[in-house]
Structures are given as structure tokens and as C-alpha cells.
Structure 1
């Protein structure tokens, strides 16, 4: 389950799935075919074991890809937006709850055009030129799966290579034709004689560590020593690993940046036609592994635990609040001043099945908890006075416009940013926490848009919008003139999986790079409806370089084998990430980031909570992690609140003395 369905699926799980043995949902058709733009009413009825329809019941329809197949107002009216195969989940939420599926196939539209991106101004003989080709159908969708046929009017001058590449062989003009399904585009290529005689190449450093970025400077010269500024230089590398059991590995970009995954010697090459140059660099072991020790636990073994928030109270002591999932609407308050002796000090209970998110104001006086699955369907948020966490008191409840359950909230400068029905978020002024009021809202206008999370820092709201990716919105920063009452979006980035679940900004002070880390949430192995079996997730963290706000690009990633990301935090160039069944991962993200951070040895430490007395015994499913005053606090779905300590780096001379 991905995208908007994850939100809906978790919401439905929170109230439990009970499949009746004598009742079932009968849908009008298990397989439906549609065309783009077509609207169709999907039907369903509850029948008994003999197939006889029983009394009318409520139905809820959810699309597994709400951007491609929109199910309007949960009534089963489906509109086909994009081609593909999709599942519609049909729920009857009565007593008992029932579930069924409808498979919908949306036919693709015919191809309308083939476009070849402009080539460099000068195409030199002896150079391979990659083509950028975009195929678009009549519905306006790009069709990258379509195979484009390329032909050359003169193969002696310009040849065709696999994967949409041209081989410029001799000087002269040639016509290239790109065609697919009877639609074609022509492009004239003027090949020039190659003036490049030599390349001068240097690296900004010759020795570093795995994970460090080496920046190359290559200058192409003609036979007179004049620089050819537009020379299409190609970069590549070969290597020799220091470890005979590990193959040399790394990444080099065509902007001339190289990073080694494995320690070793690497030869970095620059070529342009017959001209070539190389430099040799050494990447040493990153050697940043540190010991991490389990310190304490605040056990919750009678229900699932959701998110956490740790803060310093007004009395100078340290506290934490945790939510609960699929249970009785409880939120727990803990004294964590002594991380080895975490103490449960109070709780509040609200009308909800799930308290998914918990946040505390900057001054430590007010907490906000989210509500899902309220008995009266009036979900929303609850504002709690935590000036004395040992006597937490509900100040007010707020549900205006917050329909369908509030999955996530964030407090920033006397405003709560609260999700509504997984579609948008509202800005709610809580200067008077007893009388909150909506002052603004932010919602995308894309087909089937959905949202999972919002995080606010320095006046910028970073919302994770599944297929629409991360949205950067000015809510008081000033970069785009936005305010809480008038949020203004100014940048965004989406990636192909469409699983953007969480986001966290990070600016590296040394390089000046501005990154936003984006996390997936995927459950390809499914989820236990009752939440009583061990779970396993998928998905990873994407590092997006937002230094140029108009041209963000994915530059690095962090994956944990056989585990999936959830919530995460960054402090002092260290990433603390919860990876569900993979526990908490502590990652060095200092300096420029490029490539596979895990393979580069940037993981500092990891710890996986296992509790034989947990709600699900010995089944780690870590929800979130937060550093606080030298400790790492993390919540686990099956076992409650935990604390750990990352031990300091031992200087080399201390290691020598210890060895003696």
C-alpha cells in the first residue's frame, strides 16, 4: 500500500478488520475497463452466504493510486485520470466490517508527439551524443515505456547506438528521425571537425575517505593551446579496492564529481573523442563507527505506540510525550530527565482510536495531539496544558474542517499546522489555546492529490505529498512573502515511486549546500490487520539538493536492507532515522553528499529494540527517533519509549594507550 492509500489503510486498520464468515461484499464487477477522462459509478452490496442482499449499508471506496484513478467523495464514482491498472478498496464499516477489491484498467491514449531536446551548439566528430527524447500521448502524459526508433540519413557521418545515443563520426550534416506509433520528429545534426588536442585534468584533493566528494576540473585545449569551452567531456573511473573481498565501487557524475563506496585507489578519467587524461586518488576507510548503548525503556505493552516528542519543561526537567495507535485514544507523558529511569508520570485520554502525532510548543507549555477514529467522527486535534507534565490538562478540542482524522500536526510560533482528511493542512492560531481559530490553509490542485505530513522550520513548511513529492511553502520565512494566513509555495520535488511520506531540511555549514531529506513509506509485504504479528516495511531516504531552489535534484540516498524508513531527525550533521523493523540508524551526513551513503560507510551506529514482553513480542517496529541532550530517544510500535547513548569517538592516541 502506498501514497494516499497508506493513510486510508492505517486509518481503517485502527478500527479493526473483522471479516464475517456469513457476510461479504459483492461488487458490481471485479474487473472494470475505462478510458482516460471517463467517469463510472462503481457499485457494491453486502450479501449473505446464499448471495442474498442484506439491508443497505454504508460503503467507502479508496483508490490505491488516487492521482491516477480518483474515487470522488467515497461514493464509488470513479474518474480515470491516467492509464494503468489500479485497485479500488471497498469497505463496509458496519458491524462487522467487510472488505473487497475492484480491479480497474485504464487504457492509454494514443501517442500525440515525439520531441527531441536541442543538442549542444557544437557537435564534434568522434564524440557520442546522448539524446533526450520525450514521448507524449493525447492525454498529456509522458510515455517513457514507448520504444523510439531512430534512423540516420547518413550512417557514415552519424551512427545510431543503443539507448538513444548518436555516434558523430565525420564532418557533415545529417538528418535524424525519431518515430513511434506513426508519429515522428526530425532533427538536423551538423557535425564539426573535432578541434580538441588534449585535456588537462586535476582533482581538488588526491586523498580522502569513502563518502567524500572529489571534484574534478577538466580543460580541453586545441592544438594551439586554446581552451575549447564547450567541449563535451565524459568522466569515468576504474579502481582497485583495498579489501580483496570487496569490488571497487563508486559514482562519478558528468559534472566531474566522484565519490568512492569502497576504500581503495581510483583512476578518474576525462575523455573527449581521441583526447584523454586521468588522475589517481585514494579513498581511505571512513572509520566513523561508534558504539551505541541501550540506556532505558518506558514500556508500553498493552497497546501500540505511535509518535514521540521530547522537550525541556518549564521547570528545567526533561519530558516526553508518546501517542498510541489503534487503541483507546491515550497519550502518555514521561519524565526522561534520567534516561536510564524513564518514568510514566501522567496520561490523557481522548475520544479516538489513534493518537498518531504529538507535538510540543517551543516554550514547553502546550502540547497538541492528533485524533483519528473518534466515535462521533468528529476527529481533529486536542490542545493540552503541559506546563506541569505531571498534571497534564486538556485545554480545548478543535475539529472545525478537520475531517477524516488528523494524521499529523506541527506547532510553530503559536500556530498549529494540521492535516485534514489527508488532502490539505490548515494553519490554526493558538495564541489563545482555549480558543483556536483557522487562519489559513494549503492544498494542491493536482488530480487525486494527497498529503501525509508537514514539518515547519525557519518559517518554511515542508509538506510530504506522496506522488506530488515535497512542497516548500513560505509560512513566515519571507522568501516568497508567505504568512500562516497566506501560505505561498515556492519550490517542490517529486520522485518516481510517489511514496514521499516525511521530510526534514538540512543545511551543511561547511559546504553551504541546502538539502531536504525525503523518506518513503511502503508496505509491499502487507500489514497485519490486527497489528499482532511482526511487520516489515520498505522504502528509503532520498537526499535532494535544494541549493538551487529552481532546479532541485536527487544526489544521494540511504537504504537499509529489508527494512523501510519512517520518521527521522537531523542534529549536528547526524541523521537519526527510524527504519521500522530495522530499528534506529545513526548516519554521518557531513560535507557534500553524493551516492549511496550506506555503502560509503557513513552509518555510525544502529540499535534495534527487542522486548520479549512487548505488545508483539520481540518484534521491533521503530516509529520515530529524536536526539535530546546527548541521548537518543525513540518510540517503537510494539514496545513503547526507549533511550540510547551514542558513545564519543575515541581519539587515535587513546586507542594506542589502551592497547599498551
Structure 2
């Protein structure tokens, strides 16, 4: 009997190994050639790669070849035809693969990390366009002896874009009058005249500068508040005065500070930030001296900074464990029947959405399950009245994805019946959705969002759509508040659109773009619009990135062990017209990266992937890195030894509801936690 079992085990192992051996043998016999082997393309230029597949004898064989771009927003390639289009300057890699064949002679699917019979990489170089002009921006009206000016220089290319890959070289015609420092500052050494030139790639722009006598005799320095905590923003105002006490309005002021923190003697660094207009924030408690200088005249003022003291402890109240598949997003709400519910999606599985009864958060139980034709239910949203739920679809068997409308008005008695499916022009998959004022804002194929009217949820119909026109554009998320839609668009950044609340003529039927902000990394994954107590409009923009230096090579971030993300929350302030965006602050945990987040009552709740849940105080004016300012209220890393991946937190999303914080974790399901004052513990 034992011999029979051993023989059976050997046969099973041999059968399992056979496809691998056959695949390895095929990799040694199939040769793939791509022409041209490398490309240099101008922006907007297209070309088509030619693939030739040969067997071990050198004979051309008819095998499919698939093409992939490792930077599809910069250089796109048609997966089947090999047509390449240059979208953004830089150096990139394309990959061409011959799918491996199974022992039956059919091509095996090429999922993430799957091997191939042959593979070739093609380098693509897209040069930056030639420089058209160099411009000096924001120069002062007058220049004074013993002052310093930092000129802003913008280099425009022939296509109207801005060159950020090169710096202009500055030079002075007379360094005894104006000295150019190694850091690009203009130091006014003496009275007189000189010409400053800025040059790059054979293009030069000049300005003539005359240095006048410096009339400053003293500097007056005031501050709007002297009782301050870490993270609070102070406004210092410095004024240059002449010999009779008159103000010199055009005199440049330079601000700096020195600090002696509470733990200075124990090696604690001086930590804070001061802007060119005199706004100051301290990261650590202690003594700070602000210095304002105008030429050779200086004023100082010393302040004391107290600790912020917003820390709370975390108490786990309950859990709805999901251990057989990955959990995606969540939504928590009070149903029309008065009971409380949560819905969670599933990722890379079999199309399930789970509805939990959370009326008693210490006893969370599954009240209903819905399964649709999909692999991933990435997003779940519930209407304002709690009666309609929308779940997104990706990976449908017939490639008709879209979203599904569910009746969640009486889960206790009716379950969650399907009211309608909507997939018109959404075959590429819907990754995220949002419900606002009886309309669904649904991403379509990662290119745009469509606006679907669901006043009659059994008869959804499209009434509008919004799509950028930039080359290689894509979209990841959309969120709507007060008639303002904020979408997250990777390299195209945050886009603010009037859908009825900005007074710019927008509506669900006619979305009107009113603002946009991009940042260099191109990692923009999520955005949340927020109006603070003072009426200022912010967008909190989150990154998503999985850098190679944080994860072992060859590890698939979706199917392999736990991985480390990177990125942070960018705080962007817009003016009252949703224009002139400025990135004023960030929240950055060094060892992790953001995913989905929520803001309510001046508190930011973030799903921070491998760094769990983060809860942050965002009250008052914001400046600098909120993480280092004592603004973090609490954190919770939901490790679970019985999770889909044991003790591998990968926090997906979060939202506050009825005094608790609810968390969806990729590897452990739904959690309810309570924030507790330390003295209550």
C-alpha cells in the first residue's frame, strides 16, 4: 500500500513537471527577432515593429507575438500589431513575447509574471523637442545693493511644452556688480549695471539690470500669533524701513530660522520650514528664532512651540474576516430599515461582493453575498439614501464589464437583488465608480469617466462623459462633492471638473474642466476634494507606486508575498475659481505608500498599504510634511495570522462611520476600530 502511494506521488510530480520541462525546451528552440531592434522617435511619431519567429533549424514559423510597454503613458504599443507611438520624451523599454505552448500545442495565457517561449526587449528613445525660448519669470522691479535674487527661468520647446530635463546656464557680464552663485542666485555686489544671460542648447536670453543704493536702515518683524503647537502655521511679516522709518515695499526680504528643540541635547535635529513669504511651521516642540534680513539689516523674533498632543490609542472592536480571497474596497452606511451595513469587494477572484451586518460592530456577520460575472469587484459605492449599491466589474468572461446596480434597501428580508447591469461602451472594465445625486460616475477602460443617470435604477442611461485630450491619457479614479468632480489621472495629475457646483456652466450632461494640477512623479492614483472650516478648497492627491528597490526582483506584487508600496499624499490648494493650484503640504510615511483615503471633520483617514491605517489631523492651515509635525493621531496595522496572506497587512481603504473607523484590508477583510483617548485606556 505504501509503495502504491509513493508511485502515485511520483507520477503526480512528473505530470506537474512535464509542462515546465516542455516549456524550458521550447525556450531553447524558439528564436524571436524584432526589427528595428531599437527606436528613436519624435514626439507624436508612429512606427510599426516587425516580428519574425524561427524554430531551432532557422525556419520561419507562424507563432503569435505580443507586445507590451513598460511605460504605456509615455510610449504606447498595440499588443497585436506592434504599432508604436511616442507620447512623452525619455528612454523606455518595450517587450515582445512569443507565448509558450502547452503540451497540447496551444498557447498558454500570458498573465503577470508568466514566462514565454521567447522574449525580446526593444529600447525606445524619444528626444525632447528643441528649445524655442528661455524666459525670466517673476523678476523684481528694482534691484538693490547687498540683496540676493533667485530668478525663475522657464524653458519652452518648439511644441509649446516646458523643458524640465535641462537647466539654463546663468552668466553675468560684470561679476563685480552682479555675481552668479553656483546655485543660480544673483548676488548684488555693488551699484552699477550688468547684463544677465541664460543659455541652453544654443538659445540665449538676456536681461539688463541696474543696481541701486540700498536705503534700508532697519527691519521690522511681526507675527500673527505667539501661542503655537507643532504643525500650526505662523505668518511672519517683515518690513524694510529707511532712515526716517518709511516702508520700502519693493525691498526683498529673506527669511530663515534657527532652533533648539526640547530634545536638542539628546541629538534631536532642528526641524521646521519657512517659506519665502514668511509662513513658518515647526515639526518638533522647542525654541525657534525667526530671522528676517533685508540687505545687511536683520530682525529676529523668538517663539516657543508646544507639542500638538493629538495622539489616540486604537481599540479593535470587531472583524469580518475574509481569508480565502483578496478584499478590495468598502462602504459603510445605515440602511432604510435602520440597521447598519458594510459592503466589501473582492480582487482577482470570482466576482463576489459581501454585505455585512455591522449594527453590532462587536458581532460582524455576513448578511448577503452577491456574485457577478467578473474576476474583480474593485469598487463598491452606496447611494445617499442607502437604497442602491453599485459594484464595478473587471474580467468578465464575455469582456462586457461595466457595473451592476443592486437593491440594498432591505437586506434583512430581500437580500441584495440585481436591478440592472450597465456595460454600454465599457467593455474594457470599470475600475472605480462614484454615486452622486442619482448619477453614477464610472471609469471606462481607464480612459474617461461616463455619467450614467440612475433616477430609475432599472433603466440606467448615459447622459454625459469626460475625457482628457492629452497623448496617452489615462484615469484611475473619480470622486464628486458639492457638484465638483475630481479625477485622478496618473501623469496628467488631478483634474477638477464642474458637474453642477462650480458655477462654470457644468452639469452631469456637460462636464466642464475648471482646474488641473500635475506633479513630476506621475503616480497620481486617488484624489479627495475638501473644503476646510475657512472655506479653502483643497484636493488631497494620493500616489500609488511599487518601486523595484523596495521589493525583491521576480516577485509579483499581486500573487507573490507581501510587497512594499511607495508614495504620499499631496495637499494641493486651489483658489476660489479652482485655478492657480499650489502644492502646499504632504503626508509621507517613509516605509509605505498610499491607496484609498477619506476626509471628514478635519481628519484624514488613509489606507496606507503595508503601513496599515493612518489617521491624521488636518485642521488649520497646512504646510510642510504633516507626518513629521505630530499631526498623526493614530495608526493601525491589521496583521492577521488567519488572513489570506498571514500577518501581511495591505490596507486598501477606510472610512469613518458612527464613531468608529472602518478598514478594508486586502489580506484580512473588514475591521472596525475605535480611537480612544490615552487617559481612557
TM beyond 0.5: yes
Deviation at 1:74, TM superposition (A): 6.6
Q: Distance in 2 between matches of 1:625 and 1:50?
A: 58
Question: Counterpart in 1 of 2:16?
Answer: none
Partner of 1:107: 127
- Compare relative contact order (CA 8 Å, sep 6+) and give the higher one, 1 or 2: 1
Deviation at 1:160, TM superposition (A): 1.2
Matches within 5 A, 1:237-636: 237-244=257-264, 245-390=267-412, 391-509=415-533, 511-525=534-548, 528=556, 531-548=559-576, 549-636=578-665
- Alignment partners' CA distance in 2, 1:204 and 1:156: 40
Give the deviation of 1:372 after TM superposition: 0.6
Note closer, same or farther for the CA distance 1:90–1:617 as it changes in structure 2 (3 Å cut): farther
Q: Does the Cα contact within 8 Å between 1:544 and 1:555 map onto a contact in 2? A: yes
Mapped partners of 2:48, 2:408: distance in 1: 49
Q: Which residue pairs with 1:8 in the alignment? A: none
Deviations 1:594-637 (A, max 9, x none): 10111111101100011111111111101001110011111111
- The alpha carbon displacement at 1:428 in A equals 0.3
Change (3 A) 1:241 1:220: same
Rounded Cα–Cα distance in structure 2 between residues aligned with 1:444 and 1:375: 29
> What is the alpha-carbon distance in structure 1 between the residues aligned to residue 477 and residue 61 of structure 2?
39
Whole-angstrom CA distance in 2 between matches of 1:25 and 1:612? 46
Q: In the aligned structure 1, how far is the partner of 2:655 from the partner of 2:185? A: 48
Q: Is the 8 A contact 1:626 1:632 kept in 2?
A: yes
Summarize deviations over 1:214-262 as a string: whole Å, max 9, x none: 1112121111111111121111101101113311110000111000011
- Contact 2:662–2:671 (Cα < 8 Å) also in 1: yes
Shift of 1:478: 4.2
Give 2:228's match in structure 1, choosing from 208, 221, 224. 208
Q: Which residue of 1 aligns with 2:209?
A: 189
Q: 1:65 to 1:57 in 2, by over 3 A?
A: closer
CA contact 2:405–2:418 (8 Å) conserved in 1: yes
Kept in 1, the 8 Å contact 2:317–2:361? The answer is: yes
Q: Does 1:85 align with 2:91?
A: yes
Deviation (angstroms), 1:193: 1.3
Structure 1 residue matching 2:619: 3-state secondary structure: coil
Instruction: Name the CA shift for 1:402/1:542 in 2 (closer, same or farther; >3 Å).
Output: same
C-alpha distance 491-50 of structure 1, shift in aligned 2 (>3 A):
farther
Aligned-partner Cα distance in 1 for 2:408–2:224? 53
Q: Secondary structure at the match of 1:599?
A: helix
Contact 1:569 1:625 in 2 (8 A): yes
C-alpha distance 306-474 of structure 1, shift in aligned 2 (>3 A): same
53 and 610 in structure 1: CA distance in 2 versus 1, 3 angstrom threshold: farther
Q: Which runs of 5+ in 2 are unaligned?
A: 1-21, 100-106
Q: Flag the structure with larger Rg.
A: 2
Contact 1:63 1:71 in 2 (8 A): no
Mark the CA change 1:349 to 1:508 in structure 2 (over 3 Å): closer, same or farther.
same
Distance in 2 between residues matched to 1:51 and 1:257, nearest whole Å: 70
Contact 1:65–1:86 (CA<8 Å) still a contact in 2?
Answer: no
Measure the CA separation in 2 of the matches of 1:615 and 1:481: 48
The aligned residue for residue 672 of structure 2 is 643
Deviation per residue, 1:131-160 (Å, 9 max, x gap): 111223334443333243322222221111
| TM, length-normalised to structure 2 | 0.89
RMSD value, Cα: 2.4
Structure-1-length-normalised TM-score: 0.91
Contact 1:304 1:324 in 2 (8 A): yes
Aligned positions, number: 634
Partner-residue secondary structure (3-state), 2:628: coil
Pairwise CA distance, 1:447: 1.0
Conserved 8 A contact 1:513-1:592: no
Does the 8 Å CA contact 2:51/2:65 hold for their aligned counterparts? Answer: no
C-alpha separation between the residues in 2 aligned to 1:632 and 1:53?
61
1:42 equivalent in structure 2: 49
What's the secondary structure of 2:508's corresponding residue? coil
1:71 to 68, 77, 80: 77
Residue number in structure 1 paired with 2:13? none
Q: Deviation at 1:39? A: 1.3
Q: Paired residue for 1:7?
A: none
User: Kindly tell me: are residues 297 and 118 of structure 1, through their superposed partners in 2, closer, same or farther at Cα, counting changes over 3 Å?
Assistant: closer
Cα offset for 1:51? 7.6
- Please tell me whether the aligned partners of residues 248 and 264 of structure 1 are also in contact (alpha carbons under 8 angstroms): no
